[in-house]
């Protein structure tokens, strides 16, 4: 407990899944959290859970593809709590899926706006306040798909690979300011983004994911929250520029899965086909 005592954290995509689990964990460890998402209802539920447990959190509605929204989010953290120590660029979508030749330019661009451009914006606007605070930790969600391509996920894989490279570049630039920049590469994690609209729902997805890596269970959002906590805390003060793989061993022999044609947006919206 209290591994983040006195720290202020911003978490995007915090209304559900990995972001939600991380917001709850950070607050339990003493951080004041700004919960950012487009899903207002889900975010308010997270805020209520944190408050009920004695933690501190506020909600800022944020479209991560908008620079104005990202700047307003960072400004809210500084205005509300006086500083910024941690930014977790976690918001994500499945994005354009299916055969590359059938992916539209519009869907390709939307995928990169949310998965890569948003990370760039999160880093860009966090550096100033963190420098004033004497340092900080910037974390982003990449994916094992950013380390190895996956059939039907060309846009997603490319966007997540860009996050890994961006992480390394930013870590070099801002190490002198004691700002650490790392990313997390999850494997198959049970979140609404993964199982919504799938035949059999969450339980079927859980059973399927348990077969995809050496450790025979699906990943939990809390698995990612635990890594995010390590990277956010002072325990990782000499760790920067890394892509931390949290996947139950999937990346040792990643199954080639075809994800179907269409576009997968935020977890609270229906999948487009």
Just list the catalytic residues.
Answer: 156
For residue 210, CA distances in Å to 16, 191, 215, 248 come to: 21, 14, 8, 9
The DSSP symbol for 176 reads: G
Q: Is 190 left (phi over 0), alpha (psi -120 to 50) or beta?
A: beta
Point out which residues pair with 244 in neighbouring strands: 184
Cα separation, 239 vs 222, whole angstroms: 21
Quote the longest CA-to-CA distance of the chain.
51
Q: How far apart are CA 87 and CA 125, in angstroms?
A: 10
Structure tokens at 173: 């630039």
């Amino acid at each position: 407990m209290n591994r983040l005592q006195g720290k202020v954290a911003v978490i995007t995509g915090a209304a559900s899944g990995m972001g939600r689990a991380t917001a709850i964990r950070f607050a339990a460890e003493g951080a004041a959290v700004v919960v950012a998402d487009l899903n207002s209802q889900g975010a308010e539920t997270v805020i209520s859970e944190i408050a009920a447990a004695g933690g501190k959190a506020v909600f800022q509605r944020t479209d991560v593809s908008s620079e104005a929204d990202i700047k307003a989010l960072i400004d809210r953290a500084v205005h509300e709590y006086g500083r910024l120590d941690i930014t977790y660029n976690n918001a994500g979508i499945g994005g354009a899926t299916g055969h590359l030749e059938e992916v539209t330019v519009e869907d390709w661009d939307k995928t990169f706006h949310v998965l890569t451009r948003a990370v760039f914006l999160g880093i860009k606007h966090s550096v100033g306040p963190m420098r004033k605070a004497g340092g900080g930790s910037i974390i982003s969600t990449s994916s094992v798909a950013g380390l190895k391509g996956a059939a039907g996920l060309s846009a997603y894989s490319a966007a997540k690979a860009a996050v890994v490279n961006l992480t390394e570049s930013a870590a070099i630039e801002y190490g002198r300011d004691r700002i650490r920049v790392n990313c997390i590469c999850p494997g198959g994690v049970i979140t609404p983004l993964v199982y919504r609209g799938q035949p059999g729902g969450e339980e079927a997805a859980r059973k399927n994911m348990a077969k995809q890596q050496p450790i025979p269970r699906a990943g939990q959002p809390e698995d990612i929250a635990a890594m995010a906590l390590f990277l956010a805390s002072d325990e990782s003060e000499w760790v920067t520029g890394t892509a931390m793989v949290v996947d139950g061993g999937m990346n040792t022999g990643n199954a080639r899965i075809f994800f179907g044609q269409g576009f997968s947006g935020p977890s609270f919206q229906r999948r487009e086909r």
